[in-house]
Amino acid sequence: MVDVEATCWQGPPPGQASEIIEIGLTVVDLDARRRVARHGLLVRPERSSVSDFCTGLTGLTRSEVDGGVGFAEACRWLAEEHRARTRAWASWGDYDRDQFTRQCRTTGTEYPCGLRHTDAKRVFGAAHGMERAPGMHRALAMAGLPLDGRHHRGEDDAWNIAALVLGLADRGAWPVAD
């Protein structure tokens, strides 16, 4: 499971574009039905800065993310340390995949993840007969699961999404990888 946080504002300042500032990653063993690893990586923005609004939402400060790694290094970390190009991956909705795609295109960085992406939000909605699936926080409540950590922190959200995916797998509702 991957969850990213990005620079954000109530209204984007001129000349700034949303950039990934945190990558949360939880490795799941679907066969064993457990979360096996939890990671968080702060990413230094290059064309934007963390606003007070963003800090209020994520808890991440400008000085924290300014000490992070560059985006290209973060992508290498995913590809090399976690074999992201060869593994299926999932996120809650398409935002995370779209943000990676946009930022890789803008920066000329090689896309770090494989093409097998599952929108866990869509799977959750379908499994619950919903036309429009809820946000992750609401989905946790519906599944009877606690919010572990802080909502809108990539590492915590990836961990929580993994719990939802394992619940879907237990119900036989998670797609089987090829």
Q: What is the pLDDT of residues 50-105, one digit of tens each?
A: 999 999 999 999 999 999 999 999 999 999 999 999 999 999 999 999 999 999 99
- Model confidence pLDDT, tens digit, residues 94-144: 999 999 999 999 999 999 999 999 999 999 999 999 999 999 999 999 999
Q: What is the pLDDT of residue 178?
A: 56
Domains of the chain as residue ranges with CATH? 2-170 (3.30.420.10)
CA–CA separation, 39 and 32 (whole Å)? 19
pLDDT at 15 over 60: yes
Using CB atoms within 10 Å of the CB of residue 29, give its burial: 0 to 12 exposed, 13 to 18 middle, 19+ buried: exposed
Query: H or E stretch including 99?
Result: helix 95-107
- Residue 158: both structure tokens together: 């990836």
Q: What is the pLDDT of residue 176?
A: 82
In the chain, what is the greatest distance between 2 CA atoms, to the nearest angstrom? 48
pLDDT at 24 over 70: yes
Residue 11 pLDDT level (bands cut at 50, 70, 90): confident
Burial 36-53 (b: 16+ CB within 10 A, else e): eebbbbbbbbeebebbee
CA–CA separation, 131 and 151 (whole Å)? 24
Contact status, residue 24 vs residue 155, Cβ threshold 8 Å: yes
- Model confidence pLDDT, tens digit, residues 165-178: 999 999 999 998 75
CA–CA separation, 114 and 143 (whole Å)? 28
Burial 76-95 (b: 16+ CB within 10 A, else e): bbbbeebebeeeebbbbbee
* Number of Cβ within a 10 Å radius of residue 165: 23
- Model confidence pLDDT, tens digit, residues 33-44: 999 999 999 999
CA–CA separation, 160 and 110 (whole Å)? 28
Contact status, residue 8 vs residue 34, Cβ threshold 8 Å: no
Q: What is the pLDDT of residue 157?
A: 98
CA–CA separation, 77 and 83 (whole Å)? 9
Mean pLDDT of 146-154: 98
